[in-house]
């Protein structure tokens, strides 16, 4: 609904009008028949989020806001905490789309990581990962430690307990959002050093964070739970999971490459099967689906010649899924909780952004990065999403004493970063001059059941 052909201004007025109609329709329906609890209520919610999210994104575009923000705001407005056009039950049901969205994000992320680029940027990536991870955990953790008086759940904590919980918060602060990064890159079709850095860092950081999480739990448990002993057993399990995920990912990647080469059609069906079916199976087997699909995407891109075609199909399918995914995330946002915890949340989020910026500058100096990365390298690191929320849920489960409040604070922080992060990254991409114009609109000769072939004249975001 955005992106007029060849720079022509899209119909902003018609988008705004459509948005009003769509909101009004659901508003009237939800007020006239508020007690309807059928499955089609959820279907209406999907339709609304898809339309409303895309339309709001377009209406906000003149303000240079990222599409993601439009999707999120639409979800927040329509969600159970504000207008209540979509109820809690529907939001929960819609969460099932997360696995599909994350599978596509991981596949796309892996497929965007070309070996040549990784080789070129290995110095940048190494320094950034090292500095952002160690520096982030230490500095944000220290700040959290200092903010003890503002944290209701930590008032009675001793030194060691505070150390443990600060470590957990420090690790949580190093989680990023591959989905937000890919969403912005997909919208802006950015190509250049910043786009390449953002993509490779955020995708790699996912693996690093998974290892850090296991380490943090291992160290924090004896500090937080009286009588608990330090044990490295968690690492053994983690090693199995990671190696298994890489192995399965490689196999899936090879099969996907063979499918794209030999069949080439209806990849959407395969992606749906992977997103809904394989994701469940991998989770059941205790493997990391995100890593598995990332490896699969990486294999298709780097061990076959089907990478571009594959990537194009994923982007095409993902375009729809991401709208619902982010709009649902918006509807999930606990607005009352954010209202309650806003002072400490703002301090923590502001400090995290500032620390990411400072550490980014330091890492860039050490790696001698290009100017765009030096200046804007921190921008893709602000967004947080699913991984941080998952980590919060894990803390709640492992440490029932304070976990619930820790998780609530985590959710509030993710809410802020989820809203602010994409805006900052979009600003960075626009300012760095790496954004590219949109593709042409619907035309008689370009409409196909399968997505059209990728344009050949220019390399994709990360291929130059």
Partner 1 sequence: MSSIVLLMVLLALSAVGSFLVGGRGRGVGLPSGLEFVALGFAVGPSALGMVDRAMIDQFEPILQVALAWFTFNIGLDIGFVGERRAPLRVMVLGAVSALFTGALVFAAVFPLARLLHIEDTRSCLILAGGIGAACAETTRHVVRWAEARHGAKGKLTEIISGFGSSDDVAPILASAVFFAMSASVGSAVHVSIPIGGFIAATAVLGLVLGGVAILLVRNTEGHEVWAALIGTLLLGSGIAARFGLLPTAVTFVMGIALGFSKHRGALRVLVRPTERAVVLPTLLLAGTRLDLRVVAENKLLIVLVVAAIAARFVGKLASGGMMRTLSEPARRTSNTLGLALVSSGALSIAVGLSFALRMPGVIGDTVLVAAVACALVGEIVGPRSLRIALLRTGDIEPPVVFTPPPPQSEENLGSDPPEDSEDVVR
Interaction site with partner 1 (CB under 8 A):
1-5, 8, 10-11, 14-15, 17-18, 21-22, 25-26, 29-30, 32-36, 38-48, 50-51, 54-55, 265-266, 269, 272-273, 276-277, 280, 316-317, 319-320, 323, 438-444, 446-452
CA dihedral 184, 88, 400, 290 (to 10 degrees): -30
With 0-12 CB in 10 A as exposed, 13-18 as middle and 19+ as buried, what is 144? buried
CB nearer partner 1, residue 48 or residue 217 = 48
CB nearer partner 1, residue 293 or residue 391 = 293
Which is nearest to 137 in space by CA: 221, 207, 216, 238? 216
Secondary structure E strands in 52-120: none
- Least distance CB 34 / partner 1 (angstroms): 7
CB nearer partner 1, residue 54 or residue 409 = 54
Buried b (16+ CB within 10 A) or exposed e, 257-280: bebbeeeeeebbebbbebbeebbe
Q: How many CB atoms lie within 10 A of CB 433?
A: 10
CA 76 to chain centre: 17
CB nearer partner 1, residue 38 or residue 227 = 38
CA dihedral 239, 115, 426, 17 (to 10 degrees): -90
CB nearer partner 1, residue 312 or residue 374 = 312
Alpha carbon distance 193, 427 (integer Å): 15
- Least distance CB 455 / partner 1 (angstroms): 11
Half-sphere exposure of 257 (CA within 13 A, CB side): 21
CB nearer partner 1, residue 314 or residue 411 = 314
CB 104 within 8 A of CB 313: no
CA 172 to chain centre: 14
- Least distance CB 40 / partner 1 (angstroms): 3
- Least distance CB 172 / partner 1 (angstroms): 32
What's the DSSP call for residue 171? H
CB nearer partner 1, residue 156 or residue 457 = 457
CB nearer partner 1, residue 119 or residue 456 = 456
Residue for token pair 């979509």 = 86
Alpha carbon distance 245, 260 (integer Å): 22
CB nearer partner 1, residue 71 or residue 298 = 71
- Least distance CB 441 / partner 1 (angstroms): 5
CB nearer partner 1, residue 50 or residue 344 = 50
Residue for token pair 């979009």 = 426
CB nearer partner 1, residue 133 or residue 187 = 187
Alpha carbon distance 42, 173 (integer Å): 33
- Least distance CB 31 / partner 1 (angstroms): 8
**Token pair of 10 as six digits:** 């899209």
Secondary structure E strands in 38-133: none
- Least distance CB 44 / partner 1 (angstroms): 2
Which is nearest to 252 in space by CA: 224, 284, 279, 233? 279
- Least distance CB 350 / partner 1 (angstroms): 35
Secondary structure E strands in 214-331: none
For 49-67, the DSSP string reads: HHHHHHHHHHHHGGGT--H
């Amino acid at each position: 609904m955005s992106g007029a052909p060849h720079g022509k201004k899209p119909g902003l007025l018609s988008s705004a009008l459509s948005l009003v109609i769509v909101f009004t329709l659901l508003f009237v329906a939800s007020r006239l028949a508020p007690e309807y609890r059928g499955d089609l209520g959820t279907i209406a919610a999907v339709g609304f989020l898809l339309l409303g999210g895309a339309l709001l994104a377009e209406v906000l575009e003149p303000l240079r806001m990222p599409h993601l923000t439009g999707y999120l705001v639409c979800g927040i407005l329509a969600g159970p905490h504000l207008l209540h056009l979509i109820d809690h039950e529907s939001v929960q049901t819609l969460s099932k789309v997360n696995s599909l969205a994350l599978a596509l994000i991981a596949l796309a992320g892996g497929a965007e990581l070309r070996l040549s680029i990784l080789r070129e940027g290995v110095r940048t990536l190494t320094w950034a990962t090292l500095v952002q991870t160690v520096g982030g955990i230490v500095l944000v953790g220290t700040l959290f430690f200092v903010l003890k008086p503002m944290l209701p759940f930590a008032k009675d904590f001793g030194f060691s307990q505070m150390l443990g919980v600060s470590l957990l918060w420090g690790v949580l602060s190093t989680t990023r959002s591959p989905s937000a990064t890919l969403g912005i890159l997909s919208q802006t079709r950015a190509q250049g050093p910043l786009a390449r850095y953002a993509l490779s860092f955020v995708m790699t950081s996912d693996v690093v964070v998974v290892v850090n999480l296991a380490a943090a739990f291992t160290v924090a448990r004896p500090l937080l739970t009286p009588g608990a002993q330090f044990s490295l057993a968690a690492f053994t399990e983690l090693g199995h999971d990671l190696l298994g995920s890489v192995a399965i990912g490689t196999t899936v990647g090879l099969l996907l490459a063979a499918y794209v080469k030999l069949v080439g059609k209806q990849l959407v069906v395969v992606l749906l099967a992977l997103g809904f079916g394989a994701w469940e199976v991998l989770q059941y087997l205790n493997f990391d689906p995100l890593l598995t699909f990332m490896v699969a995407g990486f294999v298709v891109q780097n061990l076959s010649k089907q990478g571009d075609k594959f990537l194009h199909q994923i982007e095409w399918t993902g375009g729809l899924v991401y709208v619902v995914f982010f709009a649902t995330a918006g509807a999930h946002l606990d607005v009352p909780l954010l209202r309650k915890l806003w002072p400490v949340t703002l301090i923590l989020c502001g400090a995290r952004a500032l620390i990411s910026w400072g550490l980014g500058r330091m890492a860039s100096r050490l790696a001698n990065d290009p100017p765009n990365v030096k200046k804007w390298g921190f921008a893709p690191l602000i967004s947080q999403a699913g991984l941080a929320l998952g980590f919060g849920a894990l803390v709640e489960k492992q440490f029932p004493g304070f976990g619930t409040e820790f998780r609530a604070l985590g959710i509030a922080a993710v809410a802020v970063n989820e809203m602010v992060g994409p805006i900052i990254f979009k600003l960075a991409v626009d300012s760095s001059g790496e954004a590219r114009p949109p593709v042409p609109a619907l035309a008689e000769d370009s409409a196909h059941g399968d997505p059209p072939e990728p344009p050949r004249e220019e390399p994709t975001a990360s291929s130059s």
